[in-house]
């Protein structure tokens, strides 16, 4: 029988970062160490019963994540998912935009195998780095029979792509699934699940995949921007974006989707002019609860950044 494989794709981030001093956790440069070197530093990963395949897909600080990297990543993930001997995929990624990449891959590919993003809050050169344990934990999830969907693993916690959010600037346990709660925990390499694997979403493929695979089109992904509601929010930013040709707008509304009346009027005008408008909430927990008279559709529980990704994928169609 062919040996099952775990594929580990590197994209950069703090997990691959280096600093001049082992006690420096903030003044480092992200995305310096190659994926092979990161894997080689973890003996129990090297000795895994699975065949390990490593590939450097990108080497970026995830604050600089680009559509070009997303396109390449989606292509490599699809390529490996299609191989019967691949059990699961681990992706090392910066923490800053991890949740966006997670939702992008989940909504696009709807994988029936585990695709596990992992990260670190401390650079690889730290006295006690968190990356190696996170990679080990992510590999345990990728190897777990029945695991599916795009997941995120950090500090021993398994999150689903839909709910995961970075919630802390410094703490090692920097992610939360909000009021949905995590999918489970990894303890001594074993999984303790607290709920089901993420439900299947309607994948945006194949139209979006075709769009993304087309290099020329990849240079011009649908333009979707985020505006925010706050005290004194007005029409100016929305009007400027519409004049500039934006195709979609996500509004990070207050509370249960509420908007300053001036911003609301500007968004309704934008919608009437053909711009797709989606209302998400800037609250960390909860979702916009739809009402009968809503003029602007809600994000169906997606945060503003994920609603933006979703709208871009929809507009590709």
Pick the closer one to ligand ASP by CB: 62 or 299: 62
Pick the closer one to ligand ASP by CB: 153 or 277: 153
How many residues lie near ligand ASP (CB under 6 A)? 11
What's the first-to-final CA gap in the chain, in angstroms? 41
Q: Are 104 and 11 in contact (CB under 8 A)?
A: no
The candidate with the shortest Cα–Cα distance to 49, out of 92, 90, 87, is 87
Q: How far is the CB of 94 from ligand ASP (least distance, A)?
A: 2
Q: How far is the CB of 70 from ligand ASP (least distance, A)?
A: 14
Handedness of CA 222, 225, 226, 232 (dihedral sign): negative
Q: Return the C-alpha torsion angle 289, 161, 66, 245, nearest 10.
A: -20
Q: Which residue of this chain has its Cβ atom nearest to ligand ASP in the complex?
A: 94
Determine the interface stretch with ligand ASP among 88-96, 216-224, 253-261, 304-312 (rule: CB under 6 A). 88-96
Cα separation of 143 and 166, whole Å? 25
Q: How far is the CB of 64 from ligand ASP (least distance, A)?
A: 8
Helix, strand or coil, per DSSP, at residue 273 = coil
Radius of gyration of the chain (CA): 20
Pick the closer one to ligand ASP by CB: 104 or 144: 104
The strand pair at 165-166 and 276-281 is best described as unpaired
Pick the closer one to ligand ASP by CB: 31 or 86: 31
Helix, strand or coil, per DSSP, at residue 185 = strand
The strand ranges marked E within 205-314 are 224-228, 248-253, 276-281
Active-site residue, selected from the candidate residues 2, 11, 14, 26: 14
Pick the closer one to ligand ASP by CB: 111 or 129: 129
Q: How far is the CB of 206 from ligand ASP (least distance, A)?
A: 30
Q: Residue 129 gets which letter from DSSP? A: -
Annotated active-site residue 238? The verdict is no
Determine the interface stretch with ligand ASP among 57-65, 75-83, 99-107, 261-269 (rule: CB under 6 A). 57-65
Cα separation of 229 and 47, whole Å? 51
- Pick from 10, 88, 94, 129: which binds ligand ASP (CB under 6 A)? 94
- Pick from 95, 139, 176, 177: which binds ligand ASP (CB under 6 A)? 95
Determine the interface stretch with ligand ASP among 34-42, 92-100, 264-272, 274-282 (rule: CB under 6 A). 92-100
The candidate with the shortest Cα–Cα distance to 200, out of 150, 159, 163, is 150
CA distances in angstroms from 173 to 167, 169, 176, 199, 283, listed in the order given: 9, 10, 8, 24, 20
- Pick from 30, 116, 117, 302: which binds ligand ASP (CB under 6 A)? 30
- Binding positions for ligand ASP, 108-137, rule CB under 6 A: 119, 121
Residue identified by tokens 């990894």 is: 186
- Pick from 7, 8, 13, 91: which binds ligand ASP (CB under 6 A)? 13
Cα separation of 278 and 270, whole Å? 11
Determine the interface stretch with ligand ASP among 45-53, 60-68, 106-114, 143-151 (rule: CB under 6 A). 60-68
* By CB under 6 A, residue 63 contacts ligand ASP: yes
- Pick from 96, 100, 163, 310: which binds ligand ASP (CB under 6 A)? 96
Give the chain's length: 317
**Residue ranges binding ligand ASP (CB under 6 A):** 13-14, 30, 61-63, 94-96, 119, 121
The catalytic residues are 14
């Amino acid at each position: 029988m062919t040996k099952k494989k775990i594929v580990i794709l590197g994209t950069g981030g703090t997990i691959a970062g280096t600093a001049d001093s082992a006690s420096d956790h903030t003044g480092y440069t992200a995305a310096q160490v190659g994926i092979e070197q990161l894997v080689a530093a973890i003996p129990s990963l090297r000795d895994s019963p699975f065949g390990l395949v490593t590939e450097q897909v990108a080497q970026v600080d995830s604050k600089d994540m680009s559509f070009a990297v997303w396109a390449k990543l989606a292509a490599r993930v699809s390529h490996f998912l299609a191989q019967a001997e691949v059990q699961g995929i681990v992706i090392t990624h910066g923490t800053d935009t991890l949740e966006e990449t997670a939702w992008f891959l989940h909504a696009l590919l709807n994988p029936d195998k585990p695709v596990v993003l992992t990260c670190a809050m401390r650079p690889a050169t730290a006295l006690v780095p968190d990356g190696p344990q996170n990679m080990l934990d992510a590999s345990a999830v990728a190897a777990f029979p029945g695991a599916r969907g795009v997941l995120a693993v950090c500090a021993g916690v398994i999150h689903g792509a839909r709910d995961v959010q970075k919630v802390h600037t410094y703490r090692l346990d920097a992610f939360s699934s909000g009021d949905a709660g995590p999918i489970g925990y990894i303890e001594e390499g074993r999984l303790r699940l607290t709920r089901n694997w993420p439900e299947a979403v309607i994948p945006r493929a194949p139209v979006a995949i075709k769009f993304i695979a087309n290099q020329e089109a990849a240079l011009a992904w649908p333009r979707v921007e985020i505006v925010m509601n706050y005290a004194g929010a007005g029409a100016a930013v929305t009007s400027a974006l519409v004049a500039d040709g934006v195709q979609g707008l996500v509004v990070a509304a207050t509370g249960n989707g509420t908007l300053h009346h001036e911003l609301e009027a500007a968004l309704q005008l934008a919608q009437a002019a053909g711009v797709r408008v989606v209302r998400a909430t800037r609250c960390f927990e909860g979702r916009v609860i739809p009402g009968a008279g809503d003029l602007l559709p809600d994000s169906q529980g997606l945060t503003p950044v994920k609603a933006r990704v979703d709208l871009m994928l929809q507009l590709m169609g």
